[in-house]
Structure 1
Amino acid sequence: MKIQTAIASLCLALAGCQSSDSETELAGTGLDPRKAPLSGEACPDVGDKAFFFWMETRSAEPGEKISLTPYWTDMPGGYNHLPPACLDDLGVTPEGAATFERLEDGRAVATISPEISPGTMVLLEGSYREHRLIGRVDVFSADANPLVGTWRQREEDCPNGSPIRELVFAGGGEFSVTWTPFEVYKDYWGVYEYDAASNAFRFAVEGGNQIPDDIHEQGSVVIEDGELDFGGVVFGTPEGADAPCTANFVN
């Protein structure tokens, strides 16, 4: 239940999660897109588990559409699907930060408001039976921060055992480094700063399972031909490798 508790605390920190009343009913159907088209036996009761849309914070640009799929888990890294058409009572904080629609199969889709400012944290909400789900979205601008996403180094460009297979930058300023991805495992994580005008880049490690001693946390990054070229930045040498990989990152 740690997932539910952490998300609930985040919700309370934002002065409560309130549903928006700004969405209109589905044209010509009389159906409210925030209400589930399925209920009862069509929505199985899986007990008192942890319910969620996604484990980690999502990043999205203004106007982006996000499909809301409910999951439950009772173990780290476990994703168990629930019928999307059972997702009920959709809402958003802050109010008006997203609108909702239902697809023909009953799936719910949230559209982040095109007018919302980058840097805003949005909470998308819903319920499955009596269980509340909340998913955090950090709104960003790709023009201001094109680093956002998941990057990797090519194995052939690196010393043996040293390529980073997941370098993840989130729109809210968080990052993580993983050499050997497995479920939700990460080697280390923290926060980063990037200046698109000067290409200056720096990061700070806040925790991890494997934190190398030879990290160099600041330098520059240039994006060219869809690759990240870091100058002066070193993410470190993983266990079992002879040297860090300083090759470019690709999507």
Structure 2
Amino acid sequence: MAVSQREQALSLLAAANNHGDLAVKLSSLKQAKDIFLSADLALLAAELFPYLVELQSSHEALVRKTLVEAIEEISLKTMEYSPVLMQVLLTLLSDDDSVVARQSIVAGTHIFCKVLEELALQFHRHGLVERWLEDIWSWMIKLKDTVFQIALEARSVGPRLLAIKFLETCVLLFMPDNDSRGHNTEATRSAQVFNVSWLAGGHPVLDSVALQSEANRSFLILLDLLRSASVLPGSITISVVSSMVGSIVQG
């Protein structure tokens, strides 16, 4: 079965990379993703993920957007095999196409929240954090810093709006005495369950004090953006105000 899935995935990824018809590229990529989601990635990931990664250089924005969607689904379902995909996601955060950049921020937000949850739960259940999860968290830190920069500097409004929502998410996740489980935003489809109070007994990777400092930093960035409202597009100002109010009300 694994051999058959390997051959199918190789054929589909070759079509996604090389076929001249966009519809065929997109269909092939989606079928390859479905194979990854159903296959034993312990047998396939190391060999096949490099072909998936190549798609980040596709000239078609829809292919890059679909690649981001595939990375999100694969990472959320089989996180232990996804560190190699995080560099792609980080690169596409700054894609020249606004649609691709927006999708990357959305996907990055979902993965960021899931990694936080898994870090806390893995240590709680097993008393340790596996190396692959530490590796993914290091990518999440880079992702967070990149999204912060997008919130401050991006010229395109769409990605910037989602980056501002990411700032709000960080405040809600990292502030003490905050129940984020009921919080849901455009950038976070499913309710978050991570709560910084879970780290009260200590954690080998997550520092609750450092995370609370990140919450403060996120809120201060929102405040600085609000102070610059006179030179910002109206939609950005509205988003900043909404995020600040959401942070205060939910916090």
The two structures have a TM-score, normalised by structure 1, of 0.28
Larger radius of gyration: 1
Q: Which has the higher helix share?
A: 2
TM norm structure 2:
0.28
